[in-house]
Each structure stands twice: as structure tokens, then as C-alpha cells.
């Protein structure tokens, strides 16, 4: 009887020893700008299936309600990998020491300041004392990027002009009415406006330097070997993985892009400079939160 009990105990211990390696083969994955499980499955389902096939790793979707929830989840060891934007990465790095794994390139990723083509604003200096709107507080391409570009040209944020925030579609109509002097937008916004509002003629007053790409980051608690396995999958099978990403309409911002594995924290120092341009010198929380 004692031998049977001992054997059963050793068997149970053996099962327990296997569990950590099984857990290491399952990656909890979140995307900061995709709210809810249903949308995450719809937009990243094809990528998940292709990545699992290529890497041999299992992916569990971890839905979040936004960037703050994603940072808190990583800090609490509830998520392993997060796909996020440049401005968000800076906060993840400060709060969690997240590891950049591979960038997701967004071709033609610039910030712009636009005005009415036939309006009174012809130069950057004309914006002094006027109202400039940005789509969303803390956005890389629609707030930090255009505000920093204006700062580089001598217009101090919310001092030489009044900074306000409205969604781009609302801002375009306000621009038409003359309630706003300019808008901070990205290239997709300009293309969308040309398609949806063909009678609204815009002029690009200012264009930023190219912005850093979105980035897949890992929790510092993920084993280095697992991070390397993920990175290798993107390096060796990037074409197949990008094809899966672009299989859904919500990911077309990556069309024409590639994955780049040679990424480091210093690649996002330009984003930290953008934060400073709007008066933020501590990066451990999101603006407005």
C-alpha cells in the first residue's frame, strides 16, 4: 500500500513539473487599441491562427478596454505580449520595463497639421493666438506628433495657440465653419477626408519627421527563450504573418509594411521628446488619466 501511495505522489509531482513548460507555450496577447474579445478575435483571428502554425506556440487573446487597462494587466502579470503604439510603448517601458520584440511597420506614418486650402491660415505663424485641435489626447500621430512639429517651428504648445481635442470627423466640419484654425491629423485622416468630404479642400501646413512604428512588446517576466522564439517567427515568416494580419479590414494601416526585429528602447526616444514638447516629463502614466 505504501508503495502505491508513494508512486501516486511521485506521479502527481511529475504532472506538476510539466505544467510550467506547458504554460510557457501559451502566450497571452493583447492589442491596446482593440476593445473587447469579439473585436480582437475578428481583427486578429487570422494572425493568431497563422502565428500558432508557424511558431508552435499557442495564443490566448486577452481583451482590454484601452491602453491603461493593458498597462495594468502587464504590471499584474496577466498578459505576456501586447501590440501597442509608440506613445503607449513609452509608458509601458516606464511602468513595466516591457521588452520591445518586433516592430509592425506603418508605411507613410507621419503627423500633419492641416488647414483649409482657401482659408486665412497660410503660414505657421498665422496660427498664433488661434485654436488648433488634436484628435485624441496622447495619440502619437494626432496629438504628440503634430504638437511637437509645431513646437519645433517655434509655436509653444497651448501657449502660442489654444490646444483643444475633438474627433477628426467633428474637427473637419469645425474647420470648415471657421471654428478651428487647424487640425493635427495623420495620413489616413487626410485620405479619409478626401474620400468622404471631397468638397472640403485641405492644405498640409506642416508634416512631421517619420514616426516610430507600432511595436510588439513582451512582459519582462516572459522567458528570454520564448521572446527569441517569437522574434524568430516574425523574422523567418514575416510575409506569411503580414498576409494574415492584412486579411482583416481593421489592420489595413499595416498594408505595405514589414516586421522589423532590430528594435530597441532608444528607438522611441523621439517619442519621449514629443511628450516633453507638450509639457510631460514623466512617462509612467498616460496623458489625461
Domain range summary for the chain, segments of one domain joined by +: 2-106+212-277, 111-207
**Do the bridges between strand 162-165 and strand 202-207 make them parallel or antiparallel, or are there none, so unpaired?**
unpaired
Contact yes or no for 77/98 (Cβ under 8 A): no
Contact yes or no for 66/35 (Cβ under 8 A): yes
Model confidence at 13, in pLDDT bands (50, 70, 90)? very low
User: What distance in Å separates the CA atoms of residue 42 and residue 289, rounded to the nearest whole number?
Assistant: 28
The pLDDT of residue 24 is 59
pLDDT value at 2 more than 80: no
User: What distance in Å separates the CA atoms of residue 27 and residue 60, rounded to the nearest whole number?
Assistant: 6
User: Average pLDDT of the chain?
Assistant: 91
User: What distance in Å separates the CA atoms of residue 41 and residue 52, rounded to the nearest whole number?
Assistant: 14
CA 215 to mean position of chain CA atoms: 7
Close Cβ partners of 262 (under 8 Å, ≥ 6 residues apart): none
pLDDT in tens, 102-141: 999 999 999 999 999 999 999 999 999 999 999 889 999 9
User: What distance in Å separates the CA atoms of residue 156 and residue 96, rounded to the nearest whole number?
Assistant: 31
152 C-beta neighbours (distance < 10 Å), count: 13
Helix (H) or strand (E) holding 259: strand 259-260
- Homologous superfamily (CATH) of 111-207 is Periplasmic binding protein-like II (3.40.190.10)
The pLDDT of residue 180 is 98
With a pLDDT cut of 70, the percent of the chain lying above it is 91
The pLDDT of residue 287 is 84
The pLDDT of residue 285 is 87
Phi-psi region of 5 (alpha: psi -120 to 50; beta: other; left: phi over 0): alpha
Adjacent-strand bridge partners of 184: 113, 134
pLDDT in tens, 184-212: 999 999 999 999 999 999 999 999 999 99
The pTM (predicted TM-score) of the whole model is 0.87
Angle at 133 between CA 206 and CA 147, to 5 degrees: 45
Distances (CA, A) of 201 to 118, 126, 192, 193: 8, 19, 12, 9
Contact yes or no for 182/115 (Cβ under 8 A): yes
pLDDT value at 9 more than 70: no
Identical fold for domains 2-106+212-277 and 111-207, yes or no, is yes
Model confidence at 289, in pLDDT bands (50, 70, 90)? low
pLDDT in tens, 14-59: 333 333 333 458 999 999 999 999 999 999 999 999 999 999 999 9
In this structure, what C-alpha cell is assigned to residue 165?
481635442
**Do the bridges between strand 111-116 and strand 182-186 make them parallel or antiparallel, or are there none, so unpaired?**
antiparallel
pLDDT in tens, 211-251: 999 999 999 999 999 999 999 999 999 999 999 999 999 99
- Homologous superfamily (CATH) of 2-106+212-277 is Periplasmic binding protein-like II (3.40.190.10)
Measured distance between the N- and C-terminal CA atoms of the chain, rounded to whole angstroms: 62
Amino acid at each position: 500500500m505504501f508503495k502505491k501511495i508513494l508512486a501516486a505522489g511521485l506521479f502527481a509531482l511529475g504532472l506538476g513539473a510539466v505544467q510550467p513548460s506547458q504554460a510557457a507555450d501559451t502566450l497571452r496577447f493583447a492589442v491596446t487599441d482593440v476593445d473587447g474579445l469579439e473585436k480582437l478575435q475578428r481583427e486578429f483571428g487570422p494572425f493568431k491562427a497563422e502565428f500558432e502554425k508557424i511558431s508552435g506556440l499557442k495564443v490566448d487573446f486577452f481583451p482590454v478596454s484601452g491602453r491603461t487597462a493593458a498597462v495594468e494587466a502587464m504590471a499584474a502579470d496577466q498578459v505576456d505580449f501586447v501590440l501597442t503604439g509608440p506613445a503607449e510603448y513609452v509608458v509601458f517601458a516606464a511602468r513595466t520595463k516591457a521588452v520591445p520584440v518586433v516592430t509592425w511597420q506603418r508605411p507613410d506614418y507621419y503627423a500633419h497639421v492641416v488647414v483649409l486650402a482657401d482659408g486665412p491660415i497660410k503660414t505657421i505663424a498665422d496660427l498664433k493666438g488661434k485654436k488648433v485641435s488634436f484628435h485624441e489626447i496622447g495619440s502619437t500621430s494626432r496629438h504628440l506628433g503634430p504638437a511637437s512639429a509645431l513646437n519645433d517651428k517655434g509655436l509653444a504648445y497651448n501657449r502660442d495657440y489654444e490646444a483643444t481635442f475633438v474627433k477628426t470627423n467633428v474637427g473637419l466640419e469645425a474647420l470648415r465653419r471657421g471654428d478651428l484654425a487647424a487640425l493635427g491629423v495623420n495620413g489616413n485622416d487626410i485620405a479619409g477626408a478626401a474620400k468622404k468630404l471631397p468638397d472640403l479642400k485641405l492644405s498640409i501646413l506642416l508634416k512631421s519627421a517619420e514616426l516610430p512604428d507600432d511595436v510588439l512588446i513582451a512582459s519582462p517576466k516572459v522567458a528570454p527563450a520564448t521572446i527569441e522564439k517569437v522574434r524568430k517567427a516574425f523574422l523567418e515568416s514575416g510575409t506569411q504573418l503580414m498576409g494574415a494580419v492584412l486579411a482583416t479590414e481593421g489592420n489595413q494601416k499595416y498594408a505595405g509594411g514589414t516586421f522589423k526585429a532590430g528594435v530597441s528602447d532608444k528607438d522611441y526616444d523621439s517619442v519621449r521628446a514629443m511628450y516633453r514638447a507638450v509639457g510631460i516629463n514623466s512617462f509612467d502614466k498616460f496623458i489625461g488619466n
